[in-house]
Amino acid sequence: MMPQPQWRTLQQHAGPLQRRHLRELFAADPARGSRLQAEAAGLYLDFSKQRVNDETLRLLLALADARGLAERIAAMFRGDRINTTEDRAVLHIALRAPAGMHIAVDGKDVVADVHAVLDRMAAFADRVRSGKWTGYSGQPICNVVSIGIGGSDLGPVMAYEALQHYSQREMTFHFVSNVDGSDFVEATRNLDPAETLFIICSKTFTTQETLTNARAARAWCLRALGDTGTDGSEVVARHFVAVSTNAAEVVKFGIDAENMFGFWDWVGGRYSMDSAIGLSTMLAIGPEHFRALLAGFHAMDMHFRNAPLDRNLPALMGLLAVWNANFLGAATVAVLPYAHYLKRFPAYLQQLAMESNGKHVTREGSPVDYATGPVYWGEPGTNGQHSFYQLIHQGTQLVPCDFIGFCQPLNPLDDQHDLLMANLFAQSEALAFGKSADAVKAEVMPAALVPHRTFEGNRPSNTLLAERLTPYTLGALVALYEHSVFVQGVIWDIDSFDQWGVELGKALARRTAAEIASEGDPELAHDSSTNTLIARYRRLRQSIA
Ligand code: G6Q
């Protein structure tokens, strides 16, 4: 239940405001476009094209107050166990705290531990990047394959793509996540095992997909390099490192504990790209750029902790997301980066937002009677313009958009960057202001086409603008979304840091895998649809024996 009177006040406020068009709101306040903005850590947020007025913001901030947002932020930064269903602290902010800062879990400072791991990662990255770390047959490492899934994959892939401009181009980077063997086979197809390093990323080191792919990688390496009369441990020692919290399982797999980079149970998987899970990022861009990435995260963290809520970027973005979801009825958010390097950013955000806030009960376990996390999706601009933007402009669903753009190109090519950014500005303008039937009629065309060519407008969007896509900016951007997701979870009173919803499917898959592998004719006790599908699959599948 959402008991707050502030919620009801917002509902009452939303009715009349829904009928006011953004055209009107802009006409009533000529300074709106330069006034409804906030800036931090190199990111400028223009939220003037959201369907809000000053009263909306005041009421949203009152709701945040009633929900105790300021205290919940303080509790996270203090290291309280705010992930209540897993009884864990939530301290990804400690991963980017500068040396010397003090953040304690159960009375023990964790920042020193974080920096000890960062230093080991840096020393390792320097050795690999300089060619001093060699493979089993003495060749330097040219290829890195990171194996992991979910939070142990999406962050590293996104960051590698986003920061490719800064990466060591003599090395190639590959990411394997899917238990579909095609993922592994295609990623390693053109690689020479003698020059390839595998990073096995798994917080628990028990994840089926990751361990299956890790075993495939070990067999692939040993087939090529292991004909040495040894048990292969020397090959594994030169070609495998692990990132995990579970040293015992890492060693059981055959990876030397010396070659393991640790992190902690107070780092959630989807909040871990700046922990040792980011080892592939550090190998690609080098320790110095990785530290700049952490500095960007930290700058946004400090802003989130210290800025008043009405000037606080993550708080404002989170509250606007709540406004769109709960008071304007938007079921999705489109994330539209006008930067090709950010092509995996929507997929990354999908996990961050949807695994965090796709919840149906409150922290106390009562069913919610309001919408929680919307669906996040998106594609880089301008590609989306030629496909799904039609629905955003003229469809019947309200799709709030986050446009993300940069003022300076990383690859200046004639005027292409100006064209790219012109498209971003044009899209947010067209969505907000549309094109009235009168304006369409004024153009000479058959009257029958007027409704088809009319744009209602009044489609809300944020625009995030930064100077340049750098490691620092990426860190600030990711932290902005992390904290905005947190703010939404606080308003919805849910645990944004657990993910019990993924467990049922995992358990059923284990049972089904055993049934599929069974020699005889297993008695299937699922529903009639699942029984029929499994039986048919067993009949038709190619033998893999
Ligand atoms: C993230 C989730 C989930 C997790 C993967 C991989 O917040 O917990 O996506 O990251 O299931 O888990 P491991 O890192 O333990 O292999």
Q: What percent of the chain has pLDDT over 70?
A: 98
- pLDDT tens figures, 68-95: 999 999 999 999 999 999 999 999 999 9
Is the pLDDT at 482 greater than 80? The verdict is yes
Is the pLDDT at 1 greater than 90? The verdict is no
Backbone angles phi, psi at 430, to 5 degrees: -60, -40
Residue with tokens 């645990």: 495
Rounded CA gap, 118 and 142, in Å?
22
Q: How confident is the model at residue 382 (pLDDT cuts 50, 70, 90)?
A: very high
Asked whether 79 lines ligand 1 (CB < 6 A), one says: no
Nearest atom of ligand 1 to the alpha carbon of 268: 7
The pLDDT assigned to 445 comes to 80
Task: Give 44's strand partners.
Answer: 39, 465
The pLDDT assigned to 424 comes to 98
Do residues 303 and 313 touch, judged by C-beta distance below 8 A?
A: yes
The pLDDT assigned to 281 comes to 98
The pLDDT assigned to 417 comes to 97
The pLDDT assigned to 175 comes to 98
What sign does the CA torsion over 260, 264, 265, 268 have? negative
Rounded CA gap, 189 and 191, in Å?
6
Q: How confident is the model at residue 504 (pLDDT cuts 50, 70, 90)?
A: very high
Token output for 361: 């009960």
CA distances in angstroms from 114 to 126, 148, 483, 492, listed in the order given? 18, 21, 21, 31
- pLDDT tens figures, 260-273: 999 999 999 999 99
Nearest atom of ligand 1 to the alpha carbon of 271: 7
Q: How many Å lie between the centroid of ligand 1 and the Cα of residue 272?
A: 10
Asked whether 152 lines ligand 1 (CB < 6 A), one says: yes
Asked whether 203 lines ligand 1 (CB < 6 A), one says: yes
Q: How confident is the model at residue 228 (pLDDT cuts 50, 70, 90)?
A: low
CB-CB neighbours of 84 under 10 Å: 14
Is the pLDDT at 230 greater than 90? The verdict is no
Q: How confident is the model at residue 522 (pLDDT cuts 50, 70, 90)?
A: confident
* b/e 130-155 (16+ beta carbons within 10 angstroms → b): eeebebbeeebbbbbbbbbbbbbbbb
Respond yes or no on whether the N-terminal peptide bond of residue 281 is cis (omega within 30° of 0): no
The pLDDT assigned to 106 comes to 87
Q: How confident is the model at residue 221 (pLDDT cuts 50, 70, 90)?
A: very high
**Which residue type is seen at 110?**
V
Task: Kindly state the DSSP code that residue 435 receives in the 8-state scheme.
Answer: B
Cα 20 versus chain centre, distance: 34
Selected residue with higher pLDDT from 545 and 403 = 403
Q: How confident is the model at residue 541 (pLDDT cuts 50, 70, 90)?
A: confident
Q: How many Å lie between the centroid of ligand 1 and the Cα of residue 315?
A: 26
Find, among 434, 421, 443, the residue nearest to 393 by Cα.
434
**Which residue type is seen at 50?**
Q
The kind and range of the H/E element at 357 are: helix 345-357
Rounded CA gap, 84 and 57, in Å?
30
Q: How confident is the model at residue 227 (pLDDT cuts 50, 70, 90)?
A: low
Do residues 204 and 225 touch, judged by C-beta distance below 8 A?
A: no
Is the pLDDT at 320 greater than 90? The verdict is yes
34 φ/ψ sector (left φ>0, alpha ψ -120 to 50, else beta) = alpha
Asked whether 499 lines ligand 1 (CB < 6 A), one says: yes
Average per-residue pLDDT in the chain? 96
Q: How many Å lie between the centroid of ligand 1 and the Cα of residue 74?
A: 26
Is the pLDDT at 3 greater than 80? The verdict is no
Backbone angles phi, psi at 200, to 5 degrees: -95, 110
Q: How confident is the model at residue 544 (pLDDT cuts 50, 70, 90)?
A: low
Do residues 340 and 411 touch, judged by C-beta distance below 8 A?
A: no
Pocket probe for ligand 1: among 152, 272, 485, the residue whose CB has the most ligand atoms within 8 Å is: 152
Residues 310-331, mean pLDDT to the nearest whole number: 98
Asked whether 150 lines ligand 1 (CB < 6 A), one says: yes
Q: How many Å lie between the centroid of ligand 1 and the Cα of residue 263?
A: 13
Pocket probe for ligand 1: among 83, 149, 265, 350, the residue whose CB has the most ligand atoms within 8 Å is: 149
Task: Give 376's strand partners.
Answer: 333
Q: How confident is the model at residue 232 (pLDDT cuts 50, 70, 90)?
A: confident
Task: Kindly state the DSSP code that residue 400 receives in the 8-state scheme.
Answer: -
Is the pLDDT at 165 greater than 80? The verdict is yes
Q: First CA to last CA across the chain, in angstroms?
A: 54
- pLDDT tens figures, 139-150: 999 999 999 999
Backbone angles phi, psi at 108, to 5 degrees: -110, 130
Is the pLDDT at 229 greater than 60? The verdict is no
- pLDDT tens figures, 101-149: 999 998 899 999 999 999 999 999 999 999 999 999 999 999 999 999 9
Catalytically active residues are 355, 386, 506
Do residues 145 and 217 touch, judged by C-beta distance below 8 A?
A: yes
Task: Give 173's strand partners.
Answer: 144
Asked whether 355 lines ligand 1 (CB < 6 A), one says: yes
Task: Kindly state the DSSP code that residue 56 receives in the 8-state scheme.
Answer: H
Find, among 276, 228, 241, 217, the residue nearest to 128 by Cα.
241
Rounded CA gap, 218 and 470, in Å?
35
Residues 235-257, mean pLDDT to the nearest whole number: 95
- pLDDT tens figures, 271-295: 999 999 999 999 999 999 999 999 9
Pairing, β 108-109 against β 240-244: unpaired
Rounded CA gap, 476 and 262, in Å?
24
